[in-house]
Amino acid sequence: MIEVTASEGLLVYLAVMGVGLGAAAVWDGWRSRRQQWQVSEDRLMRCPRCSYTFIVVRTVRETNCPRCGAQQMVGKRGGRSRV
């Protein structure tokens, strides 16, 4: 049987906990970098009538503002109202 004094046991316990916390911090940093939110600017629309900002699917050419219902043309520079 291995004899361990209280100070040696405490040292081993703190070392194991330190390694575990370090591994958890590295894993959390890797996970947060991998799953970071990215919103593309060409999907954002701003209604010129009510200034409401909303997200539009890239394949849509025309859409209506969810707040005021103004028709929007989706282009390279953003939305233009066709009211």
pLDDT tens-digit series, residues 31-83? 877 776 665 656 788 888 999 998 888 888 888 999 998 987 776 554 444 44
pLDDT score of 23: 96
The pTM score is 0.41
Coil vs helix vs strand at 35: coil
Work out the average pLDDT over 2-29.
Answer: 94
Query: Strand locations in the chain, DSSP E?
Result: 44-46, 53-55, 62-64, 71-75, 78-81
Going by C-alpha positions, the residue among 62, 61, 41 that lies closest to residue 53 is 41
